[in-house]
């Protein structure tokens, strides 16, 4: 049995294949996922697993250099936005590097998911609970 934190074979595999600047999306249950992009569907029912649960596990094994959010999260889901900023701050301390935070429109966000290595779908049912993670390097 795998000893690391990520037990899901698809999630573990996609993280292990990421190269510098490759992107990985963690999303809510409602984000449209392009047919051309690998979908890793973890959603079981509304709210299970939560967006933050999935993001927390993914970022334990992924080196992140940039996080991209939809600008709309600031107004339409401010509590999750603050939680995300706190998570990124903790991740920076753990990784020992600065993580750039960028904002784009939700429409652009949806288009950018087509370029990601995969989209990991959570069971989250709150607005704009989506993030694009850009892979960094550990050296």
- Chain-wide mean pLDDT for the chain? 96
Coil vs helix vs strand at 115:
helix
**Is residue 114 annotated as involved in ligand binding?**
no
**Is residue 129 annotated as involved in ligand binding?**
yes
In this predicted structure, what is the pLDDT of residue 4? 77
Residue ranges and CATH numbers for the domains of the chain are: 9-135 (3.40.1650.10)
Residues 5-64: pLDDT tens digits?
899 999 999 999 999 999 999 999 999 999 999 999 999 999 999 999 999 999 999 999
Coil vs helix vs strand at 50:
coil
For 88, how many CA atoms within 13 A lie in the half-sphere containing its CB? 21
Coil vs helix vs strand at 90:
helix
Express as a percent the part of the chain with pLDDT over 70. 98
Q: Quick one: residue 99, left, alpha or beta (phi over 0 = left, psi -120 to 50 = alpha)? A: beta
**Is residue 76 annotated as involved in ligand binding?**
no
Instruction: Give the max Cα distance, the chain.
Output: 43
Residues 72-129: pLDDT tens digits?
999 999 999 999 999 999 999 999 999 999 999 999 999 999 999 999 999 999 999 9
In this predicted structure, what is the pLDDT of residue 112? 97
81 in active site: no
């Amino acid at each position: 049995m795998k000893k690391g934190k990520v037990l899901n074979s698809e999630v573990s595999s996609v993280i292990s294949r990421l190269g510098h600047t490759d992107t990985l999306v963690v999303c809510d249950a409602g984000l449209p996922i392009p047919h051309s992009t690998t979908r890793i569907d973890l959603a079981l029912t509304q709210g299970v697993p939560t967006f933050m649960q999935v993001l927390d596990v993914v970022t334990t094994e992924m080196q992140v250099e940039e996080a991209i959010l939809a600008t709309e999260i600031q107004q339409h889901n401010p509590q999750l936005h603050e939680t995300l900023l706190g998570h990124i701050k903790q991740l920076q301390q753990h990784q020992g590097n600065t993580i750039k935070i960028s904002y784009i429109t939700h429409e652009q966000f949806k288009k950018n998911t087509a370029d990601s290595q995969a989209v990991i779908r959570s069971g989250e049912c709150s607005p704009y609970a989506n993030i694009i993670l850009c892979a960094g390097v550990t050296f």
